[in-house]
Amino acid sequence: MLSYHVHIYDNLCKRFQMIKKNASLPIFNCFMAVGKKNYQNTILDIAEALKLSPATISRALNNHPYVKEKTRNDVVEMAAKLGYRRNHMASGLRSNRTRTIGLIIPRVSMFFHAEVITTIQNDLHKHGYSLIICQSNDSVSMERELAETLYSSRVDALIAACTLQTVDFSHFDKFIEHGTPVIFYDRVPVGDYKATLIKGNDFKGAYLATNHLIAAGCKRIAHISGPLTSNLYQDRAAGFLKAMEEHQLPVNPDWIFHQELTHSNAILAMQKMFAMGVGPDGLFADNDTSAIAAIEYAKEKGIVIPDALKVAGYSNDPRTAIITPAITSVEQFPNLVGRRIVETVIELLSNDEDGPTYKTEPVMIPVELISRKSTSTN
């Protein structure tokens, strides 16, 4: 549905170009006119009501620093009274800005991304920006199409959490070459790329979770992880192995799974581990969906948690607090991720034309282990 809206938006943009060739009126004023009044007439109405010049009204509505606070407040109050609606598309033609930000995510149904989206949309709205949300469904081909659509839509900045299979990021090159800020979060490129990277400390999160299992007495620890094509799971695998190495615990390769982190795949992994005789006494899963599936399997097979098997997940999905037993998980602070993304977008768009379009150092988001009954020693 979200991709459908982007498709409609793109088609409208193409229609605007056709109208522009055949009409003498300004293209966006034709489309954005509300009722009988257009953008210019509304500005004039406010100016007439307050006995101020249209230029002063325009400066006040654009928060120009030279406008006195009282004047600005009077203008804003009168604009609201007259039902003024700012035409961002028309102003975009003049400023070469559309006041829209593009966002590509793998799946909107994922708790982490849903929370990030909510914060991004709310915070961008406060700054006068609209958000176009696109869902790739973890498909590289869809991600490429959406990137092209958003580029054609002239978004002022692009935010993206890439698919697990994305290893070639060239479909984002157009934005960078055009000077459009690109912000990757969560699933980000590995290596040098002229874009801002905002990510959680996945190495630390995995290290904390594994250390916690070891401190709880686990010595045979399994790891259900995601595909190693993704930076996320590279870092979490490294954190897991580092903790195991520090405590000189053996890593059983038959208990390490790199796969799509679905409920069904986690069940299959559990079946394989416990079909080998003595199974693990600890499990670290790289997402909470896998941790929940592992607990469901354990209950079905009579494996008592946390006595016989301790389980830790990742993301602190709300389900982890209400399932029995409640699941230990790594908090990723998605709202903080969203705030940092918007702060970065606004900062980069505020730079001069020749200013930087990306941050040279990654923006790291802290993580925190939330301990619950699934790893209890009581």
pLDDT on residue 76: 85
More confident residue, 42 or 105: 105
CA atoms in the 13 A half-sphere facing the CB of 358: 23
pLDDT for 139 beyond 70? yes
pLDDT tens-place string over residues 258-301? 999 999 999 999 999 999 788 999 999 999 999 999 999 999 99
Cα 143 from Cα 272, distance rounded (Å): 34
pLDDT on residue 95: 54
Residue type, 320: T
Q: What is the mean pLDDT of the chain?
A: 86
pLDDT tens-place string over residues 210-226? 999 999 999 999 999 99
The answer to whether 195 and 189 are in contact (CB under 8 A) is yes
| Of 82-86, 196-200, 214-218, the least confident | 82-86
pLDDT on residue 85: 67
Which one, of 287, 278, 347, 340, lies nearest residue 308 by Cα?
278
- All domains of the chain in start order, with CATH: 25-94 (1.10.260.40), 98-199+335-364 (3.40.50.2300), 202-332+369-375 (3.40.50.2300)
Determine the average pLDDT of the residues in 153-173.
93
pLDDT on residue 193: 85
Cα 290 from Cα 343, distance rounded (Å): 33
Q: Provide the β-strand partners of residue 133.
A: 103
pTM: 0.74
pLDDT for 21 beyond 50? no
CA dihedral 211, 213, 216, 217 (to 10 degrees): -100
